[in-house]
Structure 1
Amino acid sequence: MGMFDRLVPKKKQPPKPQQEFRQYISGAGACIVSKSVLERRTALRWLFREDNGIGNGWVAFGASDTQEYLDQAENLAVVDFNTLANVEPAVLNVLYLPVGADLEFKSDQSGKYFVDTRTGKEIREPVKHPGQAAFEKNLKFLNQTSYPAEFFRGLFEKDDLLEPFVIGEADFPSGEIVLADPLVYLGDRKYSTFLNRTIPAGAYPVELSICRSPIVGLRVAAAKLKISSRPVKGYELAMPRGYTVEQLNQPGVFSFFGVDAGMACFCDAAVADEYARFLEKWSGENPGKNRYDDYFAQEFRRSYEAHPQVQREGGDFVVWKLPESGHRIAMFASGMGDGIYSGYWALDAEGEPVELIVPFMNPPYFRG
């Protein structure tokens, strides 16, 4: 190279474009990844999940990682799972596989996918969150014509998952029961479900089955109106007023009530009419305000403050008194939220109501 060549300034090479960092997911926890994968010096090859006490338990190694390389702690890093997803987004498909998962990552003309090393099964679609899978399974389970007696009894037996809790009493001056979403449909006779059986006028305790699920958290699994202490001899689907179980599935005949605000209630028919008048008056006095945010939210917060061990922050249940009469309505969260739910009568030997139960969840689905 001559003097002239040395004096001519060399053209600067344009900087390599940096890989854009994306927020694919938040709160997925930390994982262990070999630095060769993080620095993109080798492709992702092995992904397994173990109970190692670190983050979510996922561990990722590369195609060229040797045992000698992995045995050196400085070659491993603990990073947020989103960081690994930025290296290879396909890991998002398997995030919700359980501890014990052992996978090999492959990429070919058909695309990118994982293979279960134990079964040989290919995983090409996102694995559902356990809560979502349980939710979908639960939807298919609900609203059946009948269930075994053991199902109803088990809903209110205390164990490692369930805890029965009496929230108070509801008043039934007419003895006619209404099932409805209290924030959307209660007080609207067209969209509330008036049941076919009546009970003696009086006040009755309301018991909730509190589910502490490892996959969906604390939820109300079922609600029970305790009418009598007489022994239960059988169960019957609670049909709307004027209909029997034999008429179920005929045009316009159904057993369920709708929930659109994640809430259900036990209420007397006469009290429901009084409640409708209260809402009409409150709305007139509070134009533009929301009945939950601007009124009932504070009632549920007070309930939470009184019983924080059995409900989510903000409150999952309340026994609310109508301001004028003092009649009480039991309102409570409906399991996994919006949907359609049915009531079931527990009957004594004479066929008289002993309990009214509304199941929201099949607890075994939510054990994790």
Structure 2
Amino acid sequence: MSETPRTLRTGGFDELFVAGRKVETPRVSAVIEVVDLGELAVPTGRLAACDPMVYWELEPFTVELPRGAHPVRLSVVLVDAVHGQPQPEAHRRVAAAQVLVRDTPAMAWEMAVTAGQDTSTLTGDLYFGYGVDAGTGAFIDASGGKALDRINDADSAYDLDDALTDAGKAVPPRMGANVTDEETGLNVVVFPSGWGDGVYPTWIGRDAAGEVVSVVTDFHVL
């Protein structure tokens, strides 16, 4: 668990994925871009999020998703000012990453947890999230540990570093990549984590009927 940032967003994550929206916060002035990264295979219905460069094991969230493939997209902000100071050159940061389960608005949000985590035990400025030590986040099916090992293997012809480098060379930069393990067909969707290393929470959005419509990791940029 980790302490909250200065203001912890606990809802309204859909507004982070409105392309062209201008955002003004005490920290940044930015415009939102939405980047589609294709679909993520979730054959077990058990989704995990992690830093894919340094993960120890995949711990899925307790909330299960419909089995199948779901679109993944990024909320990327084009930052033109920080703390009121204009930037010499606008730059991009990944503000949030989303697995879109149903294309309907979320009416309520809850913190995503893994086995053994209980939000009722949180007090003060505490929240559950996953740790990032290599400036990178990812979504992957909970069964994809061995697939991720192969993708990250030193002898791999095309690993996550290569994929992110290629994504960064795109015009405009894609800020994320979708890489598939050829042996299993499982894939991982990987992206930079906001301002860098830290601990970041993931949130589950539900519609009026209580069905899961969205899973969002917030990188505390906005």
Structure 1 and Structure 2 fold alike (TM over 0.5): yes
Distance apart, 1:254 and its partner CA? 5.5
Unaligned runs of 5+ in 2: 23-30, 81-86
Distance apart, 1:148 and its partner CA? 4.1
The alignment's C-alpha RMSD in Å is: 2.7
Q: State the match for 2:217 in structure 1.
A: 358
Looking at CA atoms only, which structure, 1 or 2, has the larger radius of gyration? 1
Provide the rounded CA distance (Å) in 2 between the counterparts of 1:273 and 1:198.
21
Q: State the match for 1:157 in structure 2.
A: 18
1:247 aligns with 2:108: no
Q: State the match for 2:129 in structure 1.
A: 256
1:174 aligns with 2:44: yes
Q: Deviations over 1:276-304 (max 9, x none)?
A: 3x268x34xx4xxxx8xx84332223333
Provide the rounded CA distance (Å) in 1 between the counterparts of 2:49 and 2:171.
26
Equivalent pair of 1:170/1:206 in contact (CA under 8 Å): yes
SS of equivalent residue, structure 1 residue 140: coil
Cα gap change, 1:356 to 1:264, in 2 (>3 Å): same
Q: State the match for 2:73 in structure 1.
A: 207
1:320 aligns with 2:179: yes
Distance apart, 1:221 and its partner CA? 0.9
Distance apart, 1:242 and its partner CA? 4.1
Alignment of structure 1 residues 1-368 onto 2, 5 Å: 140-141=5-6, 144=8, 147-149=10-12, 152-159=13-20, 160=22, 161-185=31-55, 188-189=56-57, 192-214=58-80, 215=87, 217-248=91-122, 255-276=128-149, 278=150, 282-283=153-154, 286=155, 295-305=159-169, 307-311=170-174, 316-363=175-222
Q: 1:325 corresponds to which letter in structure 2? A: T
Equivalent pair of 2:113/2:128 in contact (CA under 8 Å): yes
Cα gap change, 1:274 to 1:232, in 2 (>3 Å): same
Q: 1:333 corresponds to which letter in structure 2? A: P
Q: 1:272 corresponds to which letter in structure 2? A: G
Q: State the match for 1:83 in structure 2.
A: none
Scaled by the length of structure 2, the TM-score of the pair is 0.79
Count of residue pairs the alignment pairs up: 201
Q: Deviations over 1:49-90 (max 9, x none)?
A: xxxxxxxxxxxxxxxxxxxxxxxxxxxxxxxxxxxxxxxxxx
Cα gap change, 1:254 to 1:213, in 2 (>3 Å): closer
Provide the rounded CA distance (Å) in 1 between the counterparts of 2:11 and 2:105.
16
Answer 1 or 2: which has greater helix percent. Answer: 1
Provide the rounded CA distance (Å) in 2 between the counterparts of 1:335 and 1:200.
28
Q: 1:345 corresponds to which letter in structure 2? A: I
Equivalent pair of 1:239/1:254 in contact (CA under 8 Å): no
Distance apart, 1:240 and its partner CA? 1.4
Provide the rounded CA distance (Å) in 2 between the counterparts of 1:261 and 1:241.
24
Q: Deviations over 1:266-325 (max 9, x none)?
A: 11100134323x268x34xx4xxxx8xx843322233334x32144xxxx3110001212
Provide the rounded CA distance (Å) in 2 between the counterparts of 1:325 and 1:148.
36
Cα gap change, 1:213 to 1:230, in 2 (>3 Å): closer
Percent identical pairs in the alignment equals 26
Q: 267-276 vs 319-328, which deviates more?
A: 267-276
SS of equivalent residue, structure 2 residue 130: strand
SS of equivalent residue, structure 1 residue 236: strand
Q: 1:157 corresponds to which letter in structure 2? A: V
Cα gap change, 1:322 to 1:348, in 2 (>3 Å): same
Instruction: Tell which has more relative contact order, 1 or 2 (C-alpha 8 A, sep 6+).
Output: 2
Cα gap change, 1:167 to 1:206, in 2 (>3 Å): same
